[in-house]
Amino acid sequence: MKKKIWLFLVVVGVIIVNIGTFTIIYYLNQPLELKDMEFVAYNNEENTYTIKLHKKENFGANENFNCLAKLDDEEITSDGQNNECLLTLPLNKDYEIFLKQNGKESSVYHVLDYISNVLDFSFVYPKMYLYVGEDDEILYEDNLLINNDMDYEFVSSDTNVLEIDGKTMIGKADGIVTISSSKMESTLTVVVTDLIDEQKYQSEYKEDLPCNYYSLEDATLLDDILAYNIERAGYKTRAGAVEAARFLTMNFKFRIPYFYENGRLHSSGGNYVDGEGRYYKVGMYLHEKKMKDIKYVDSGPAIWGCPLDNWVVDTEFGYYYGKPKPNGMDCSGFVSWALLNAGYDPGDLGAGQTDNVYQLPDLGEYVPLNASLFDSGKIKAGDFVSVFGHIGMIIGIDGDDVYVAESLADYGGVVNRKYNKDTINQTFPYVVLMDNYYKNDGNYTIMW
């Protein structure tokens, strides 16, 4: 009996020794591996980020080990313990990550295989606008761990309204869509509309704005698009003022009628008319709801395009005393409107109100106009051109062509006209240089 017990113990001992030996051999031969990697923090001032590496347990689980990041001749090392270590790395460098313990090195790992490349993301505008047929870039700002031209794989909620090709969106039909991506939480609303056209010069002048043509919804949308375009160009900049003038003469589908100014908006209170021949409010005067902001009238109020009694006699162009004409803007009224919508307050000294004084004389530097000023680059879009009794805004310069947005009785209202730079001074003897007025150019373009 004792022999049997002894033999049993010997066998058990042998088995235990073999199991222990096998276990030791197994753990000694177990590869050094990464279990996981997580993002810890981003340091905006130092342009670095910190990650935590989790090592798979092995025979040396409680022993110290190292984490290494290598790129060319550069190496960043940190000590780890209890299967964890931290690495702080510069942005925009794709390091090879290793673990090292007891002379052994792990396989190579890369940060982007474990962690999202996007530190933060936001669309530049909460809402963007396109006309039907327009293509535009999806505007966003992001901050990446590694700058590798991130493909967000943007998706449109309705491809019948808006298609997406990479970072470009194409307006297909009237409607509202959202743009999203599985790689970030933000969404972008895009309005595609047929209320506006492409910005381009039209030799044929547009149809006059009909009375009460727009619904409140459409009038509000047009105001929103105008404000959006100006914001993109630069509010309180030269580009913003140019964009306002370009919008009304090109994007907007109708011509705002010419209407002689019935009166004037003076802080002194005399001869006080608001919204007749001028419009002293931000936005467009397209719906009767805007009338609630009109405080002083002569024979109105009447929104743009609707009949209003005229008190100026100019029979050549059909203006008779007391005869209604569609309300709109005169020349300096249009220029003032463009400045006001761009964030400026030009005051109210207009055309022909003071003998021998040119229009808006306190805004810029009046200089005799000649072609050499264009050649030198001294004249920019956003500068004014002037002749006594009339003023307009340059909105484009293309070679020998100069495009002027202006409101003219003989052309029926607000138009965009093309002049030759060598002969424009036969119409406008002066240019008004506006650098000191605008101060900032914004996202300025000499042409649209």
What pLDDT is stored for residue 63 in this prediction? 75
| Residues 163 and 236 reside in one and the same domain | no
Q: What CATH number is attached to the domain comprising 176?
A: 2.60.40.1080
Whether residue 149 lies inside any domain: the answer is yes
Residue 10 has pLDDT above 80, yes or no: no
**Residue 200 vs residues 131, 252, 351, 383, 420: alpha-carbon distances, Å:** 13, 11, 28, 20, 18
Residue 24 pLDDT level (bands cut at 50, 70, 90): very low
Q: How many CB atoms lie within 10 A of CB 187?
A: 12
| Residues 304 and 355 reside in one and the same domain | yes
| Residues 82 and 139 reside in one and the same domain | no
What pLDDT is stored for residue 203 in this prediction? 83
Higher per-residue confidence, 294 vs 256: 256
Residue 353 pLDDT level (bands cut at 50, 70, 90): very low
Enter the tokens of residue 66.
Answer: 């190292």
| Residues 292 and 314 reside in one and the same domain | yes
pLDDT average, residue stretch 325-353: 83
| Residues 323 and 236 reside in one and the same domain | yes
- Give the SS3 label for residue 397: strand
Question: Are 310 and 259 contacting, i.e. CB atoms less than 8 angstroms apart?
Answer: yes
Residue 168 has pLDDT above 70, yes or no: yes
Whether residue 304 lies inside any domain: the answer is yes
What pLDDT is stored for residue 280 in this prediction? 81
Whether residue 202 lies inside any domain: the answer is no
What pLDDT is stored for residue 354 in this prediction? 45
What residue numbers bound the domain in which 296 lies?
216-438
pLDDT average, residue stretch 388-394: 92
Residue 379 has pLDDT above 90, yes or no: yes
Whether residue 205 lies inside any domain: the answer is no
Residue 54 pLDDT level (bands cut at 50, 70, 90): very high
pLDDT digits (tens, 9 = 90+) for 220-279: 999 999 999 999 999 999 999 999 999 999 999 999 999 998 765 555 545 557 778 888
Please, what is the average pLDDT of the chain? 89
pLDDT average, residue stretch 100-127: 95
**Proportion of the chain in helix, strand, coil states, percent, rounded to 5:** 20, 35, 45
Whether residue 209 lies inside any domain: the answer is no
Last residue of a domain, one of 193, 208, 240: 193
Q: What percent of the chain has pLDDT over 90?
A: 75
| Residues 293 and 357 reside in one and the same domain | yes
Residue 209 has pLDDT above 70, yes or no: yes
| Residues 156 and 289 reside in one and the same domain | no
What pLDDT is stored for residue 389 in this prediction? 84
Residue 69 pLDDT level (bands cut at 50, 70, 90): very high
Whether residue 199 lies inside any domain: the answer is no
Residue 5 has pLDDT above 80, yes or no: no
Last residue of a domain, one of 80, 113, 146: 113
Q: For the chain, give the longest Cα–Cα distance.
A: 139
Question: Are 263 and 298 contacting, i.e. CB atoms less than 8 angstroms apart?
Answer: yes
HSE-CB at 400 with a 13 A cutoff on CA atoms is: 3
Q: What CATH number is attached to the domain comprising 64?
A: 2.60.40.10
| Residues 129 and 182 reside in one and the same domain | yes
| Residues 243 and 102 reside in one and the same domain | no
pLDDT average, residue stretch 31-43: 95
Tell me which of 254-263, 344-353, 354-363 is least confident: 354-363
pTM: 0.85
Whether residue 201 lies inside any domain: the answer is no
| Residues 62 and 76 reside in one and the same domain | yes
Domains in the chain, number? 4
Q: Give 89's DSSP letter.
A: E
Residue 85 has pLDDT above 80, yes or no: yes
Residue 348 pLDDT level (bands cut at 50, 70, 90): low
| Residues 107 and 227 reside in one and the same domain | no
Tell me which of 104-108, 164-168, 355-359 is least confident: 355-359
Whether residue 443 lies inside any domain: the answer is no
What pLDDT is stored for residue 352 in this prediction? 39
| Residues 109 and 172 reside in one and the same domain | no
Last residue of a domain, one of 193, 208, 226: 193
pLDDT digits (tens, 9 = 90+) for 306-327: 999 998 899 999 999 999 999 9
Strands, E, within 64-200: which ranges?
65-71, 74-80, 84-90, 96-101, 104-105, 118-123, 127-131, 135-137, 140-144, 155-156, 162-165, 168-171, 175-181, 184-193
What pLDDT is stored for residue 2 in this prediction? 59
Question: Are 342 and 237 contacting, i.e. CB atoms less than 8 angstroms apart?
Answer: yes
Residue 13 has pLDDT above 50, yes or no: yes
pLDDT digits (tens, 9 = 90+) for 396-419: 999 999 999 999 999 999 999 999
Question: Are 257 and 304 contacting, i.e. CB atoms less than 8 angstroms apart?
Answer: yes
What pLDDT is stored for residue 59 in this prediction? 63
